[in-house]
């Protein structure tokens, strides 16, 4: 059965530095692997071209670090409960950084490998396809 994922969710965004490491690996790679192992639906890693912030080691060499340590933003959309359960481990892994949460409504979540016959289950909420019966209709009606 496909994974239902519509409705109110939370967008968690993690701001760290590209050079941050955890157990010898880039922290952002470790976090992506961690999210995948924990069964999250997805994660997106964006790399900035400039910036400053909590991920910079000190204030004095910040100008130097700007060119060496580009900002990384990792984004995850999940239920609040799923994200809350990750926080103790994130707290241990993130040495310097910022983590924010925002409300986000999921209007479409459709895995690439869903079959044609199940595609309507992943249709945007409220939409009814023109060429197929309403998959949400009460079969007893």
CA distance 87 to 51: 25
Among 87, 118, 134, 136, binds a copy of itself (CB under 8 A): 87
Smaller CB separation from a copy of itself, 59 or 138: 59
Residues 1-30 that bind a copy of itself (CB under 8 A): 5, 9, 11, 13, 15, 17, 28-29
* 42 is an interface residue for a copy of itself by CB under 8 A: yes
Among 103, 115, 117, 139, binds a copy of itself (CB under 8 A): 103
Write the burial class of residue 116 (CB in 10 Å: 0-12 exposed, 13-18 middle, 19+ buried).
exposed
* 112 is an interface residue for a copy of itself by CB under 8 A: yes
Structure letter (DSSP) for residue 69: S
Among 100, 132, 133, 134, binds a copy of itself (CB under 8 A): 100
CA distance 17 to 129: 44
Residues that bind a copy of itself (CB under 8 A): 5, 9, 11, 13, 15, 17, 28-29, 32, 35-36, 41-59, 62, 71, 73, 75, 77, 87-88, 90-91, 94-114, 123-124, 126-127
């Amino acid at each position: 059965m496909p994974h239902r994922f519509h409705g109110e969710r939370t967008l968690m965004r993690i701001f760290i530095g590209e050079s941050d490491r955890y157990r010898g690996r880039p922290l952002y790679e470790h976090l992506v692997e961690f999210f995948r192992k924990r069964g999250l639906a997805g994660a997106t890693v964006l790399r900035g071209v400039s910036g400053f912030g909590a991920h910079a080691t000190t204030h004095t060499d910040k100008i130097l670090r700007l060119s060496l340590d580009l900002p990384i933003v990792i984004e995850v959309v999940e239920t609040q409960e799923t994200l809350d359960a990750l926080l103790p481990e994130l707290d241990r892994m993130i040495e310097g950084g910022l983590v924010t949460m925002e409300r986000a409504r999921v209007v479409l979540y459709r895995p690439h490998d869903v079959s044609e016959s199940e595609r309507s289950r992943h249709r945007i909420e409220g939409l009814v396809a023109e060429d197929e019966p309403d998959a949400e209709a009460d079969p007893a009606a």
